[in-house]
Structure 1
Amino acid sequence: MAVVPPRRVALLGGGFSMDEDGLLDDWLLSHAGVARPKVCFVPTASGDAPAYVEQFESAFRSRHCEASVLPLFRRELDDAALRTFLLSQDVVYVGGGNTANMLAVWRVHGVDRLLREAAARGTLLCGISAGANCWAEGSHTDSFGPLTSLRDGLGLLPGSVCPHYDSEPARRPSYQDAVATGRLPAGWAVDDGVGVLFTDGRVQEPVTRAPDARLYRVERDGHGRASERGLPCRLLGHG
């Protein structure tokens, strides 16, 4: 009987686009599962912004990996080549930007289907902000301007996700209200500086580069209110 690899998703509250120390990206690569991983950056949510791509290439060029970028706004690969390319990656790293627009573009190009196939094959899927939102069933997003609930996502991670939980003051009350009222299912709120690896939908390892940053489980209690529970995170860079 064939062995089914675990489905792995990592949510990042930082990385090359936010942090200078590189701790979260180094932690991420340590879970790639191979000595020199193939890492593909997907910048769809930013409209394939050139400056964002340059940041990724600069940060990962010096790391022990084989870095590449998948542009979709000026796509060069046909369907067969796109499938071969994505399924050959050890890590798919999705950037931030507009979650709703990104999901729509992915579906037009069939990338959503290919990412599900990659997950089933054991590829580590990860990302920051919109790149964290996309893996869940729903998310807390500013894709439409004001913060709101998006009951849309790839569903590879059960529940919902809220990024920037500590750095944007409106996030905490807005996300808690969405969970309390049922607009979003229970889920995970990620402070900036936190990284968390999920294996088959369960928390495997939460870490942080900032002593005060946390990962939170936010659920609806029996009284129609949201309850918040912080999970301990291992502090990176301190042994």
Structure 2
Amino acid sequence: MPADGPTILATSMGFNRARAPWQPSPIFQYAFELARVASRPRLCFLSTGTGDRPTSIEAFHAAFATSGVATSHVSLFDKPNISDLSEHLNNQDVVWIDRGSVVNLLAVWRAHGLDRILRDCWERGVVLGGESAGSLCWFQAGTTDSYGEVQPFDNGLGFLPFANAVHHRDRREQFHEYLASGPVSIGYATDAGAGLHFSGTELVAAVSDRKGAGAYKVSRGLDGEIVEDALVVDQLRR
């Protein structure tokens, strides 16, 4: 069954990559519950932002090897590994986007029509989620280190009509500067280990997989002053 409505999990978490195999965050179980799947959830992994790094794809599958999760992945380098991307992605319960370069990810997706396919998935109730670049991509704009130094970008998919920042503890100043002068006046941000749950375009929850991970709403007031409000964050159980 699909989720109750369009659902996005925009996070700064995903896997404990220091473990071998990777240890999945409890955000995945949270996603499966939102997808209303009782058994054998279908989870597809896209790592376009890293150029479809083979070691990441292998580590993703290994992370769920004994879990009962039906894993798959979509590679676009050097050509798609699946002939009908729309059919495959629309048949998933959860689609998870890995970290990497959001700028490169968006360009490659648009070249292959994934921007339209993923919007269709979202509207049909496939739960969309991701970490870092996999969080930024769903928003209209945000800040990224895809160019080297942290800079703004304003050509996100725009499913969520806000700005977004990940790794916020390290990039707060740049995000505030962008919102102070940019075309988008409302944004959301997460520290490492935190995530945002959107139903449609409404924020319904902030969650974390560790203590002390914060999430924030950041906005520009009528006087131009930036106001940052800490959100109530629920820690997920492992």
Give the TM-score normalised by structure 1: 0.90
Q: Give secondary structure in 2 for the equivalent of 1:61.
A: coil
| 1:11-55 deviations in Å (ceiling 9; x for gaps) | 121112557473233323332211222110000000001111122
Q: Is the 8 A contact 2:194 2:213 kept in 1?
A: yes
Structure 2: state its 5+ residue gaps.
none
Structure 1: state its 5+ residue gaps.
none
Distance 2:9 2:24 in 1: 19
| 1:83-106 deviations in Å (ceiling 9; x for gaps) | 111111111100110101110000
Q: Give secondary structure in 2 for the equivalent of 1:143.
A: coil
What's 1:76 paired with?
Answer: 81
Q: Displacement of 1:226 after TM fit? A: 1.2
Q: Which residue identity lines up with residue 15 of structure 1 in the other structure?
A: G
Are residues 98 and 149 of structure 1, via their aligned partners in 2, closer, same or farther at CA, if it must alter by over 3 Å? Answer: same
Q: Is the 8 A contact 1:5 1:121 kept in 2?
A: no
What's 1:131 paired with?
Answer: 134
Q: Displacement of 1:151 after TM fit? A: 0.4
Distance 1:62 1:160 in 2: 37
Q: Matched residues, percent identical?
A: 33
What's 1:11 paired with?
Answer: 10
Distance 2:31 2:85 in 1: 24
1:31 aligns with 2:37: no
Q: Which residue identity lines up with residue 7 of structure 1 in the other structure?
A: P
Q: Which residue identity lines up with residue 88 of structure 1 in the other structure?
A: N
Give the TM-score normalised by structure 2: 0.90
Are residues 122 and 61 of structure 1, via their aligned partners in 2, closer, same or farther at CA, if it must alter by over 3 Å? Answer: same
| 1:122-170 deviations in Å (ceiling 9; x for gaps) | 110000011000001112111111111100111111201101112xx2x
Q: State the 4+ residue runs in structure 1 displaced beyond 4 angstroms.
A: 17-21
Q: Is the 8 A contact 1:16 1:55 kept in 2?
A: no
Q: Which residue identity lines up with residue 217 of structure 2 in the other structure?
A: R
Q: What does residue range 147-158 of structure 1 map to in structure 2 within 5 Å?
A: 147-158=150-161
Q: Is the 8 A contact 2:180 2:225 kept in 1?
A: yes
What's 2:198 paired with?
Answer: 198
What's 1:140 paired with?
Answer: 143
Q: Is the 8 A contact 1:137 1:152 kept in 2?
A: yes
Distance 2:165 2:25 in 1: 22
Q: Displacement of 1:67 after TM fit? A: 0.6
Distance 2:151 2:233 in 1: 28
